[in-house]
Amino acid sequence: MKVTFLLADAAAAAEGKLYVLGGGWSFIGPQVGPMALAILVEVPWHEANQEHQIVIELQDSDGNAALIGPEAQPMRIEAKLEVGRPPGHPAGSPFNVPMAFNIGPMPLQPGMRYVWVVSIDGATDPNWQVGFHVRSQLGHPGAPAAPR
């Protein structure tokens, strides 16, 4: 499978398309507002008509599950994916499956880097992740000046 992954301000998946607003950022905060995960999964022909387990996990810069909130819970999204082969679809052609997850504000630690990691059926790939930094203060070197 192939995964294309983008951070955005908001996203929606409808009628086989992915709609993205404010996509492609890598800095946020220091107050972390809502964000969206815009994901396009390319399912090969031979993996259609099978159920696949998708897990999206927020990790810290060391690759550990990022623990969120006063109860220190991991931020994890689980979903199932199954695409059928519709009549007339050319044999051997892959299927694009858009997915969008809108997430409310999270209490993330300023000055830290986080990474969203996708796994499908327990497998992952370095290309199936997207990272971002939480600003420690507005306008710090290397970060865009405008807050999100």
Residue 93 has a CB neighbour count (10 Å cut-off) of: 10
CATH number of residue 118's parent domain = 2.60.40.2550
Separation CA 105–CA 115 (nearest Å): 16
- State the total domains in the chain: 1
In a domain, 145, yes or no: no
- Give the pLDDT of residue 69: 82
User: Is 143 among the domain residues?
Assistant: no
The answer to whether residue 13 sits within a structural domain is yes
45: in domain: yes
Taking the whole predicted model, whether its pTM rises above 0.75 is answered as: yes
Positions of the chain with pLDDT lower than 50, given as ranges: 141, 143, 145-148
Q: Is residue 32 part of a domain?
A: yes
How high is the pLDDT of residue 138? 59
41 occurs within a structural domain: yes
Domain containing residue 54: 2-134
Tokens for 128, please give them: 């199936």
CA dihedral 133, 134, 138, 143 (to 10 degrees): 10
Asked, for residue 25, whether it belongs to a domain, the answer is yes
The answer to whether residue 111 sits within a structural domain is yes
Confidence at residue 124, expressed as pLDDT on a 0 to 100 scale: 96
What is the rounded CA–CA span in Å between residue 98 and residue 95?
Answer: 10
pLDDT of residue 30: 87
Secondary structure of the chain as H, E, C letters:
CEEEEEEECEEEEECCEEEEECCCCCEECCCCCCEEEEEEEEECHHHCCCCEEEEEEEEECCCCECEECCCCEECEEEEEECCCCCCCCCCCCCEEEEEEEEECCCCCCCCCEEEEEEEECCECCHHHEEEEEECCCCCCCCCCCCCC
Beta bridge partners of 20: 11
